[in-house]
Structure 1
Amino acid sequence: MKHFLVLLSFFVSYCCSYCSDTIDGMTIINHIPQTEKKYIGSPCLCVLDDGTYLASHDVFGPKSNSHMSGEVHIFSSKDQGKTWKQISVIHGQYWSSLFTLNGKLYIMGPNREHGSIVIRASEDNGYTWTTPYLAENGIILPGEYHTASMPFLFYKGRIWRAVEYASAPTTKWPSRYSAMVISASVKDDLLNAKNWRKTNFIMRQPDWLDGNFAGWLEGQVLVTPKGDLVNFLRVDAPKTDNEYAASVHISKNGKKATFDPLTGFTKMPGGSKKFDIHYDSVSQRYLTLTNYVTSDYKGKNLNFAFVRNTLALCSSSDLKNWTVHKIIIQHPDHKKHGFQYTSWLFDKNDIIMVIRTADDDENGGANTAHNSNYLTFYRLKNFRNLLEQCVEVFK
């Protein structure tokens, strides 16, 4: 298997809020040294109607306050990702996604770690935000919920979003998470909870995957080639030497979720880590950027969920059979280096992405591959040319 290696050496101080350093094609949006005991999580990328790029991330770690109140940092770029500046910090927001609808900018996610699902709006491109404190102005689902910075689906006049219900007989990660989907009409007031519809939630069953199913999380609503709706989820199965995704079927009215454990699991490269999927109408394939586990790590009794040092372009025509086309970024060390939780979008013939990055700096590098010290931006040029290549096929 042919690889190419991009070694990233980020010897910089805490990144200025009004400038960006560029190394090997990756632009540093933000840098938090591990000495602060705060880490960068949940990257999200959004492009406004005027062409402005927005990027966001939250903060976790022992010196963060994420268990009580989340914290999301918003950055803006006016030159297609070359330079960035921080424009706002939102308190009471976590594991969140940015999106635009009808000329307005929104952010949605829990208000803290395993908190209530809330939504905010901005009418000045992210500088200021509404404050949710009632069901009528942004508190959508009170209770305990989990998600990540997952994409929204706009389909047949509705906006669709997968989340995980986090109240369960156990607090163990990720066994506590139950798959569900919420949706609303694109014509309704998205800040009013009464306009949102939810499915039932489906709890994890330990006997699935021949007893190897530890849980599912970080789902995304997709339209299958047959026009059906599915909640496509990351799967945690650490006792196996494979990675999987799961497809939960969603009724077209957005009220019912069903899952068949005999047919609902699919082998997927990088399926044990968070991934975003987008459909490319030109190639007629579903594309994703995942933390593909190379053959070097197979058979070594490793938990693949924590092998995040390779970022690869993958695709599928049917959400069942996957091809790894090209390794985009890679580092030989998997313990303190990671290129993960990629949030990405199409930009004509390119893919633009923001990456939760764990890499070297003058403060001893990242705490772990999981506990990232950078938010970075990367542009993958002429991505469709790479779809002719093949590293590995998963069926």
Structure 2
Amino acid sequence: MMLQRGVICLGVMAFAISACCPAGGEPVQKTVPGVVIDHSPQTSKIYIGSPSLAVLPDGTYVASHDEFGPGSTEHERAKTRVFISKDRGESWQHVADVEGQFWSTLFVHRGHLYLLGTWSHYGNLVIRRSDDGGRTWTSPEDEKSGLLAKGRFHCAPVPVVEYNGRIWRAVEDTTNPRQWGRSFRARVISAPADADLLVAENWTLSDPLPGNSSWLGGRFGGFLEGNIVIDPAGEILNILRVACPEGGKAAVVHVDRDGRTLRFDPDQDFVDFPGGAKKFTIRFDPQSQRYWSLVNWVPPKYQGLDAARVRNTLALVASRDLRHWEIRTVLLHHPDTQRHAFQYPDWLFDRDDIIAAIRTAYDDEAGGAHNAHDANYLTFHRFKRFRELTMRDSVVPLADLGLTDK
């Protein structure tokens, strides 16, 4: 039986798909890792993007994703789908379709649930609030109800951070919608923590910071999808994904406390960051006094490929200073890079665990994902006792990654 759009996996930690039978053999069972929250087969020409995850004050988990691809409305009035879980991620219920919401972050602030992103692909910057756990949402009709800025904005589900009496989030805009990457300009939005977040005048939008194609010896292809992070000295940083052929770089942009000015020194502020050519989320853990991230690291076996397209390996990384990063373990892996991926993870600490919503490209009865980028699943994962994990706990033998097991 074909798995239909929107069917939710209930109470199981993996979803088994029957594949074709080898000659004279039994059906091969291919298992999607994690709990399936949503599924959109490639035949729909609608792909799953922008996973986001939040936890309400009552313990309810909320997850969202948008829709992209030729069968979607991403360029006109984009759609974001919202799901809830009452059992800590073991099962999920679809509760809302939000029209006019794209590339968006779920976050909880002062007891309210918000979605902050764009109206459409390179659309206006908008925010919505839900007072019933994600079932219904406000509409950004004007500058008093959630329309924050008009323009051609780009972003992703990246952290919203409260610090020094304000909330902060990274965004980008583009000077040329036909040119991906190099046309992006880093920006930051912020607002007083106690302000009405639906009122545009309460927000400060920083001046734009453009990139320069001469950076990284001419290999710089753009920066995007920044993370607001507070460094050990209390400075506000925007750490961005960097497009370059070999990957493995992030850009550390300095944010003035007034939220208006961004500064970047290309000689000092590019850092080595595993998986830096793909979207990542960085969060600080007070217990370990480390910053953590889930990244699409490119293991030695896959080096030489286009780093931005290698998304088949999800690794846990950590740092004490945001400039030196250690790969702790491999959490998810598939040997194929063309049609399998565990990408755009949005994640949170849950006591000793990490919980994550992931845009997953994997096998299904419709022939699998269109390609690794064009994911057909939204999946939920719990990575237990993450602080204790080492490379020996990796889900794949290290030799299969081109590493020596030492």
| Shorter-normalised TM range | over 0.9
Q: Which moved more, 1:359-368 or 1:15-24?
A: 15-24
2: CA distance between counterparts of 1:20 and 1:309? Answer: 26
- Residue correspondence of structure 1 range 105-254 to structure 2 within 5 A: 105-168=113-176, 171-238=178-245, 241-254=246-259
Structure 1 residues 157 and 340: alpha-carbon distance in aligned structure 2, compared to 1, 3 A threshold? same
Provide Cα deviations, 1:219-248, integer angstroms capped at 9, x if missing partner. Answer: 01111111111110000012xx34100011
2:323 corresponds in structure 1 to: 320
Q: How much has 1:13 moved relative to structure 2?
A: 4.8
Maintained 8 Å contact 1:74/1:87: yes
2: CA distance between counterparts of 1:20 and 1:32? Answer: 20
Aligned amino acid, residue 80 of structure 1: R
Maintained 8 Å contact 2:329/2:389: yes
1:262 corresponds in structure 2 to: 267
Maintained 8 Å contact 1:325/1:389: no
Q: Count residues with an aligned counterpart.
A: 378
2: CA distance between counterparts of 1:198 and 1:291? Answer: 30
2:27 corresponds in structure 1 to: none
Q: Specify every segment of 5 or more residues in structure 2 that has no aligned partner in the other structure, as ranges.
A: 15-30
1:60 corresponds in structure 2 to: 68
Provide Cα deviations, 1:319-362, integer angstroms capped at 9, x if missing partner. Answer: 11111110011000000000000000000000000100000001
Provide Cα deviations, 1:190-230, integer angstroms capped at 9, x if missing partner. Answer: 00000001211111111111111010000011111111111
2:290 counterpart (285, 288, 295): 285
Maintained 8 Å contact 1:13/1:362: no
1:362 counterpart (361, 365, 390): 365
Aligned amino acid, residue 384 of structure 2: K
Aligned amino acid, residue 126 of structure 1: G
2: CA distance between counterparts of 1:291 and 1:114? Answer: 25
1:386 corresponds in structure 2 to: 389
2: CA distance between counterparts of 1:14 and 1:145? Answer: 29
2: CA distance between counterparts of 1:140 and 1:165? Answer: 13
User: Normalising by structure 1, what TM-score?
Assistant: 0.92
Give SS of 1:95's match: strand
Maintained 8 Å contact 2:8/2:36: no
Give SS of 1:296's match: helix
1: CA distance between counterparts of 2:247 and 2:118? Answer: 31
2: CA distance between counterparts of 1:73 and 1:242? Answer: 31
2: CA distance between counterparts of 1:54 and 1:89? Answer: 13
2: CA distance between counterparts of 1:172 and 1:32? Answer: 28
1: CA distance between counterparts of 2:157 and 2:80? Answer: 11
Give SS of 2:43's match: helix
Q: How much has 1:21 moved relative to structure 2?
A: 4.9
1: CA distance between counterparts of 2:168 and 2:50? Answer: 19
2:342 corresponds in structure 1 to: 339
2: CA distance between counterparts of 1:389 and 1:246? Answer: 30
Q: How much has 1:167 moved relative to structure 2?
A: 2.4
Maintained 8 Å contact 1:107/1:121: yes
Aligned amino acid, residue 131 of structure 1: S
Q: Which moved more, 1:278-287 or 1:382-391?
A: 382-391
1:38 counterpart (46, 54, 74): 46
Maintained 8 Å contact 1:114/1:146: yes
Provide Cα deviations, 1:349-395, integer angstroms capped at 9, x if missing partner. Answer: 00000100000001100000000000000000001111587989xxx
Give SS of 2:209's match: coil
Aligned amino acid, residue 320 of structure 1: R
Q: How much has 1:156 moved relative to structure 2?
A: 1.1
Give SS of 2:210's match: coil
Aligned amino acid, residue 70 of structure 1: A
Give SS of 2:308's match: helix
Maintained 8 Å contact 2:60/2:86: yes
2:37 corresponds in structure 1 to: 29
Q: Aligned-residue CA RMSD in angstroms? A: 1.8
2: CA distance between counterparts of 1:231 and 1:162? Answer: 7
Q: How much has 1:18 moved relative to structure 2?
A: 7.8
Maintained 8 Å contact 2:48/2:68: yes
1:349 counterpart (352, 356, 362): 352
Maintained 8 Å contact 2:47/2:67: yes
2: CA distance between counterparts of 1:320 and 1:220? Answer: 14
Provide Cα deviations, 1:88-131, integer angstroms capped at 9, x if missing partner. Answer: 00000000011111111111100000000000111111111011
2: CA distance between counterparts of 1:200 and 1:387? Answer: 41
Maintained 8 Å contact 2:330/2:391: no
